[in-house]
Amino acid sequence: MRTTAVRLYGKNDLRLESFELPPIGDDEILASVVSDSICMSSYKAAIQGTAHKRIPDDVADNPVIIGHEFCGEILEVGARWQEQFRPGQRFTIQPALNNPDNVYASPGYSFRYIGGSATHIVIPSIVMELGCLLPYDGDAFYHGSLGEPMSCIVGGFNVNYHTVPGSYEHKMGIVEGGNMALLAGVGPMGLGAIDYAIHNPRKPQLLVVTDIDSERLARAERLFPPEAAAREGVRLVYLNTREIEDVAAALLAETEDGRGFDDVFVYAPVTALLEQASAVLAFDGCLNFFAGPTDPGFSARFNFYDVHYRATHVAGNSGGNTDDLIESLDLMSRGVIDPSAMVTHIGGLNAVVDTTLRLPQISGGKKLIYTHIDMPLTAIDDFGKLGETDPLYAELDRLCRANRGLWSAAAERHLLANARPLELEG
């Protein structure tokens, strides 16, 4: 089987190329990737190369396929897995394998023949052995792709912890009915966190979301209005902190008697945000540093007096586990949460190299890639203008407008049926 894929050869060295996949063994699966969303983690891997913990040292000679937020269809199943999987079955992947022999090994970073930025892949036995190949029954491939980032959000809510007074027991998860803050919380992951915080069974009673970008805050408020959150029992407050001199004081003023926040999530690796988070934690509060920095020496001031006398904690997570992904897929399939708000751009496999290397400079949310089509990275907001001369974009614009300006299963189906196919090299 011939594939076209984006492969990493070293620092800032991504290449779109076609090559032959090896025949699958009895313990492997051949699959077609349909959708993949580009994660900031892929950008970090691309700019760091072998300095990244998940990238093998020999990528110059044995390049890896990037992309770890993908969904597709199984084509051929090796004998070992034929009772569990079948051709034609849709799937998604939990890339956090947690392989005991190599905890950092992960599809999208570490393997030659599996990754999301590819038309076809060979899924190795370790993925199935660790229960990380998940059947997917949804009607939209992109929901399967966004299951992975949503699982990271779910994992963040689960990894926070609190204590039981008078004992050494730690209670995992956010405080139900507590105070929560999402700092820099209207990026793609922050939007997913707002959705999950409002709609999951274990929710806060107060949710304060901050940012310094008025347009992104306004979009978040349109998608998740405080009135709708109130119907779910959550008081939702959006706070633009750009012109606020004392952000911590403004945050504390939103809490009853200024007692602070039980759970604070920081969604950007900014020193000032971490110091704000430290200053607003309640007794037994937990700070979750969700956004991973590229600088190994990144640091910030944290109040260790409060660690000792007020039982405050710090946590962090770089992904969810398989249970988190299963929960995300279940919530999406039942319409409890909708990750469509995370997506702002659509493109084909031909757009991956440039998009990945420039990701921090491209505004908006998730960049969703359909691997079998040829399409420049295009903002959903630009569909209407492009549609004046291109009927494909005109129809995509109509379908998105019918869904509050968001990407949808109907838009995906139209794109896959009518977009220009990717021309395979060689």
Whether 425 has a pLDDT exceeding 60, the answer reads: no
Domain with CATH 3.90.180.10 in the chain: 2-137+338-418
CB 95 within 8 A of CB 107: yes
CB 66 within 8 A of CB 6: yes
- Rg, C-alpha atoms of the chain: 22
Residue 77: HSE in the Cβ half-sphere, 13 Å Cα cutoff: 17
Instruction: Give the chain's largest Cα–Cα span.
Output: 69
CA 269 and chain centroid, separation: 16
**Nearest alpha carbon to residue 344 among 371, 367, 320:** 367
Residue 382 CA: distances (Å) to CA of 345, 379, 393, 404, 417? 9, 5, 9, 15, 20
Mean pLDDT (whole number) for 242-264 = 97
Confidence class of residue 426 from pLDDT cuts 50, 70 and 90? low
Mean pLDDT (whole number) for 205-217 = 96
Confidence class of residue 217 from pLDDT cuts 50, 70 and 90? very high
Cα–Cα distance measured from residue 153 to residue 190, given in angstroms and rounded to the nearest whole number: 9
Q: Give the number of residues written for the chain.
A: 426
Confidence class of residue 11 from pLDDT cuts 50, 70 and 90? very high
Give the pLDDT of residue 410.
Answer: 98
Give the pLDDT of residue 315.
Answer: 95
CB 148 within 8 A of CB 93: yes
Whether 295 has a pLDDT exceeding 90, the answer reads: no
Cα–Cα distance measured from residue 366 to residue 324, given in angstroms and rounded to the nearest whole number: 20
Give the pLDDT of residue 8.
Answer: 98
Query: Check: CATH 3.40.50.720 for 165-316?
Result: yes
* Strand 366-370 to 343-348 pairing: parallel
Mean pLDDT (whole number) for 408-414 = 97
Mean pLDDT (whole number) for 249-266 = 97
Single-letter code of the amino acid located at 39: C
**Tens digit of each residue's pLDDT (9 = 90 or more) over 51-69:** 998 999 999 999 999 999 9
Whether 100 has a pLDDT exceeding 90, the answer reads: no
Q: In sequence order, what are the beta bridge partners of 29?
A: 77, 123
Mean pLDDT (whole number) for 166-189 = 95
Confidence class of residue 73 from pLDDT cuts 50, 70 and 90? very high
Average per-residue pLDDT in the chain? 95
CB 56 within 8 A of CB 50: yes
CB 388 within 8 A of CB 340: no
**Homologous superfamily of 2-137+338-418:** Medium-chain alcohol dehydrogenases, catalytic domain (3.90.180.10)
CB 92 within 8 A of CB 325: yes
Give the pLDDT of residue 165.
Answer: 86
Q: Which residue in the block uniquely carries the two structure tokens 């019918």? A: 402
Give the pLDDT of residue 288.
Answer: 97
200, two tokens: 């999951």
The answer to which of 33-37, 62-66, 118-122, 287-291 has the lowest mean pLDDT is: 287-291
Q: Which residue in the block uniquely carries the two structure tokens 């800032």? A: 12
Confidence class of residue 101 from pLDDT cuts 50, 70 and 90? confident
Percent of residues, the chain, with pLDDT higher than 70:
99
Mean pLDDT (whole number) for 286-313 = 93
Give the pLDDT of residue 79.
Answer: 97
Confidence class of residue 77 from pLDDT cuts 50, 70 and 90? very high
pTM: 0.90
Confidence class of residue 296 from pLDDT cuts 50, 70 and 90? confident
Domain with CATH 3.40.50.720 in the chain: 165-316
Mean pLDDT (whole number) for 153-175 = 94
CB 187 within 8 A of CB 200: no
Mean pLDDT (whole number) for 188-216 = 96
**Tens digit of each residue's pLDDT (9 = 90 or more) over 314-356:** 999 877 889 999 999 999 988 899 999 999 999 999 999 999 9
Give the pLDDT of residue 196.
Answer: 97
